Structure 1
Amino acid sequence: MKLLKILALSALSLGAVAPAMAQDTFVSIGSNPVGNAAYQWAAGIADLINRNVDGVQMTAEGTKGYVANVRLMLDSQIEAGFSNSKLAYEAYLGEGDYADVEPGQILSWMSIAPIVQHVVVMEDSDIMDLSDLAGRRVGIGQPGGTSMLDAEILLEAIGLTPGEDFTDFRVNLGQMETMLSDGQIDAFMWNGSIPLPPIIKLTSQNDIRILPIPTDVSDAIRAQYPAYSEGDLPANTYEDQPDAVPSYRLGNVLLIRADVDEEIVYQATKTVMENLDHMATVHPAWGRVSADSILGGFNAPLHPGALRYYREAGVPGIEEFVTRTAN
């Protein structure tokens, strides 16, 4: 017993003077349902950071989407997340749907390629324009995702009310792709980063059409919601789509909590920006990311760690951005 007591005391003594083992900092990135573009991005970033930045363990989190990500960040459930420029600015200010939260908790990090509004039908469908959606079965995205809110804004602009003028299905993009292919719905709407993997899958097995969104409709939406911007779906985004399709866009952004360590954000930003060629192999949207585009769509200030790297890298317009978002 005496020997055991001495050993125990010795262990306690050694523990008291031994240096604490360094622990990794865990950072979760909220994305959208597994298999969609933002999840691929988050997984690609996490893998890149984990292989190149010491002391950080980053993970991609499958979530219900961009709306859910902002709430998860505000609730300290995740440290970073993909969203859109409209939600990002409201969350930073504590306005709109976020009037119940303290401002300044969520900051800008990286801007990715903008998201583009899609309205998809089968090639042989008799739905030729948006007005033909009346009386049909239409997928509009899952609750908690920004695409569902975008669909509701588009539907309001064309005078259609879900549940009254047509039957709405509130499910994710992967489910809508399967349902359209199987004839369970007649059309679906999704606002996402191109090209969308489920639509690529759909075109590999079916002939589809993407409906044009008339200019007067997109102009009305942009007048009411300035966060949206002009921009068509480019030609050849998908198989058998030789022409550009009239549409509109929304800034697609990666956000991060203000309380994440500055050095971690600096090193993560540096690693991603200096490996954009690799990120383009993760998803084609990253092939359009550059120092010239990384601030696009943001109206909220940058995290200090990201700002430090962008200044070092000489990102065009960085000081003008700082002045604008400070005001």
Structure 2
Amino acid sequence: MKKRGLLLSLTLLLTAALVTACGGGTSNNANGGNTNTEANGGSSETPAPANNDPSQLIVATGGTGGTYYPLGGGMADQITKNAGVTATAQSTGASAENVRLLRDQQADIAFIQNDIAEYAINGTAMFEQDGKIDAFQALGALYDETIQIVVSADSNIASVADLQGKRVSVGSPGSGTEKNAEQILEAYGLTFDDIQLQRLSFADSAKAIQDGQLDAAFQTAGTPTAAITELAVTKGVKIIPIDADKIDAIIAKYPFYVKTTIPANTYQTVPEEVETVSVKSMLVIRSDLSEDLVYKVTKAIFENIDQLGHAKAKEIKLENALQGVSIPVHPGAKKYFDEHGVQ
């Protein structure tokens, strides 16, 4: 009898061990807690984690020589210090590449121009082959990236309409600048067929203007732009304004634009204010991250702007965080903005 009792006890212990090994016990979920199968209706399968929050956030920025990378490093530091999760800035090819990194879950937060974000959401422009990419949502707008139409100081070009028939660079092929140029010309009833089209980087455009081989160039960048500043010193420049009614028409059709005034004397040969439009640099974040995490990240960034360690941070304002944002805002960011009356 004693042997039978001992055998029965061993059998029961072995059965319990097998049940536990097959998922009958508890397992850690993505939040570090426990998931009990009985609490989920007695299912024999372990439930999916409550969310997909990673233990470390990757912030996709841009090239190391630009603004996105150092500013992203400052943001990563503040997220690490204040949001309860480690964050690291990563150098990338900027906006279009960053969208694909988010899609492929190779990054979690990214810098991007707001017009590029809209193209990705709709699968247009440089994303036609990719199709619609909806793996991300807005975290908030940052600062203006201004469309500047540059000509030499002695040019007889005074309006966008005067570009007809002229030698005009619209930026590198497939760039955001190229699309900006197309849309602004459109407001004046012009297309690329109406100009002597060139697709040059702005460094090459500036050199061509200086050498008299180019009449005008579009450039989308924060002001002052170093290459324009240098050209103003060596050659002298004018920045061509966009007419008020055309600005209204552009914004009505493409809501990711915002009206912008380039201050007088931004460039030494441009003593007057110049009216134009800008797109916004913005932060986007993976859609599948939890509301709680994104709320904490948003709070960490916008409550520590003065700690970001870059001059451009002075242009980031909480009250402007939704300006020019035409894509869905992540619920976690929206919760933070609602609490602070940002619309």
- Work out the CA distance in 2 between the residues paired with 1:76 and 1:184: 44
Once the two structures are superposed, residues 165-219 of structure 1 have per-residue CA deviations (whole angstroms, 9 ceiling, x without a partner) of 3131242x34434443454533210233333343334335442110122234333
Deviations, residues 252-309 of structure 1 (Å, cap 9, x unaligned): 3211111346565444433322221233x5133x323222112222233333443454
Q: How do 1:256-295 residues align onto structure 2 when only pairs under 5 Å count? A: 256-260=285-289, 265-279=294-308, 282-284=310-312, 286-295=313-322
Q: CA deviation at 1:130?
A: 2.6
For normalisation by structure 2, the TM-score amounts to 0.69
Work out whether 1:129 is the aligned partner of 2:159.
yes
Q: 1:107 to 1:142 in 2, by over 3 A?
A: same
SS of the counterpart of 1:247?
Answer: strand
Q: Calculate percent identity across the aligned residue pairs.
A: 29
| 2: CA distance, partners of 1:38 / 1:176 | 23
Structure 2 gaps of 5+ residues are 1-31, 33-53
Q: Give the aligned residue type for 1:237.
A: T
How far does residue 106 in structure 1 lie from its aligned partner after superposition?
Answer: 1.1
Give 2:41's aligned residue.
none
User: Which whole-Å CA distance do the structure 2 matches of 1:174 and 1:73 have between them?
Assistant: 29
Q: 1:34 to 1:174 in 2, by over 3 A?
A: farther
Partner of 2:60: 29
Secondary structure, counterpart of 2:282 in structure 1: strand
Give the unaligned 5+ runs of structure 1: 1-21, 322-327
Describe the shift of the 1:30–1:240 C-alpha distance in structure 2 as closer, same or farther (beyond 3 A).
Answer: same
Match of 2:231 among 192, 202, 213: 202
Does the 8 Å CA contact 2:173/2:199 hold for their aligned counterparts?
no
1:89-238 matched pairs, under 5 angstroms: 89=118, 91-92=120-121, 94=122, 96=124, 101=131, 104-162=134-192, 165-171=195-201, 173-238=202-267
Task: Give the conservation status (yes or no) of the 8 Å contact 1:116–1:232.
Answer: no
CA distance change for structure 1 residues 124 and 62 in 2, over 3 Å: closer, same or farther?
A: farther
Q: In 1, Cα distance between the equivalents of 2:213 and 2:82? A: 46
**1:147 positional shift:** 1.8
How far is 1:108 from its partner? 0.9
The count of residues paired between Structure 1 and Structure 2 equals 290
Q: Return the alpha-carbon distance in structure 2 between the equivalents of residues 59 and 299 of structure 1.
A: 25
- Contact residue 113 and residue 251 of structure 1 kept, 8 A: yes
State the distance in 1 between where 2:328 and 2:250 align: 26
Letter in 1 for 2:341: P
Mark the CA change 1:251 to 1:159 in structure 2 (over 3 Å): closer, same or farther.
same
For normalisation by structure 1, the TM-score amounts to 0.72
Contact residue 57 and residue 88 of structure 2 kept, 8 A: yes
Indicate the SS of the match to 1:42. helix
Deviation sequence 1:207-252 (CA, Å, 0-9, x none): 2110122234333323433433333323333334332112123343
Q: Aligned Cα RMSD in Å?
A: 3.5
Q: Does structure 1 conserve the Cα–Cα contact (< 8 Å) formed by 2:103 and 2:133? A: no
